[in-house]
A and B are shown apart, each in its own frame.
Chain A
Amino acid sequence: DTGVSQDPRHKITKRGQNVTFRCDPISEHNRLYWYRQTLGQGPEFLTYFQNEAQLEKSRLLSDRFSAERPKGSFSTLEIQRTEQGDSAMYLCASSPPGSAGELFFGEGSRLTVL
């Protein structure tokens, strides 16, 4: 399978714990995006990278959230001191060089905070 891969697919944690999600984009895709989706809503933009550079981070994003893409390949999204409101599906997408625009989404990492 050469699509976007996310790990873990499901994570259940207790409030106050830290969690980390990993995204492996499609090979040679230089842009990588993180979105969050809650039930019945559209994906909400969190942040995106071009290669290893984080180009934009949502103003709504708490400082408990941090994302990295150290070598311009895979990315991690860490949530510190989780809250029940963080429960959601975390979607990663990648996009190839050029301006075609299509985002290729992974199947997401579902977080449940108890």
Chain B
Amino acid sequence: GENVEQHPSTLSVQEGDSAVIKCTYSDSASNYFPWYKQELGKGPQLIIDIRSNVGEKKDQRIAVTLNKTAKHFSLHITETQPEDSAVYFCASGETSYDKVIFGPGTSLSVIP
């Protein structure tokens, strides 16, 4: 069945350093890969997404890469700030208007 794995489960970095979160997916039909950030007591919020027709996308300090052949995709956060501390979820879906399947999450702590 559909499955998304995510590593690491916890990540601690010094302020200003980079953070990388990696995901793999099992459904070959997946073409849409969003990333969500969840702060304590809130619902997840989309921070960036990528579709299978591109290999990389960047938005300020955040970038995502996709290797569809290997079924891998990654989130890169540069120049981390304390407010980046949260749980990050990768997800995959066949299309951007279908359901998405979430990974188990990465708890990121940015130490001032």
Q: Are the C-beta atoms of A102 and B46 separated by less than 8 Å?
A: yes
Instruction: Point out the residues of chain A lying under 8 angstroms from B89, CB to CB.
Output: 42-43
Other A-B pairs beyond A45-B102, A101-B32, 13, CB < 8 Å? A33-B99, A41-B105, A42-B89, A42-B103, A44-B102, A45-B101, A98-B97, A99-B95, A99-B97, A101-B93, A103-B34, A105-B44, A107-B43
Q: Lowest 8 A-B CB distances belong to which pairs? A: A105-B43, A101-B96, A42-B102, A102-B46, A99-B96, A43-B102, A45-B99, A42-B89
Given the interface pairs A48-B99, A102-B34, the reply to whether A42 lies near B45 with Cβ below 8 Å is no
Tell me, yes or no, whether A31 is within 8 Å of chain B by CB.
yes
Chain B residues closer than 8 Å to A41, beta-carbon distance:
104-105
Chain A contacts with B in 19-55, Cβ cutoff 8 A = 31, 33, 35, 40-45, 48
Q: For the complex, what is the distance from the CA of A99 to the CA of B96, rounded to whole Å? A: 5
SS of A interface (majority): loop
- A79-104 CB mask vs B (1 if < 8 Å, else 0) is 00000000000010101001111110
CB B70 to nearest CB in A, in angstroms, measures: 21
Task: Write out the residue numbers on chain B whose beta carbons fall within 8 Å of the beta carbon of A98.
Answer: 97
List residues of chain B with CB under 8 Å of any chain A CB.
Answer: 4, 6, 32, 34, 36, 41-46, 49, 89, 91, 93, 95-97, 99-105
Contact B43 A95 (CB under 8 A): no
CB of A42, distance to nearest CB on chain B (Å): 3
14 contacts between A and B (CB under 8 A): A40-B104, A41-B104, A42-B6, A43-B89, A44-B102, A45-B101, A99-B95, A102-B34, A103-B34, A103-B36, A105-B43, A105-B45, A106-B43, A108-B43
Is A111 located at the chain interface by the 8 A CB criterion?
Answer: no
Give the Cβ gap from A65 to chain B, nearest Cβ, in Å: 15
Chain B residues within 8 Å of A91, by CB:
43-44
CB neighbours of A67 from chain B (8 A): none
**Assembled-state Cα–Cα distance A12/B53 (Å):** 46
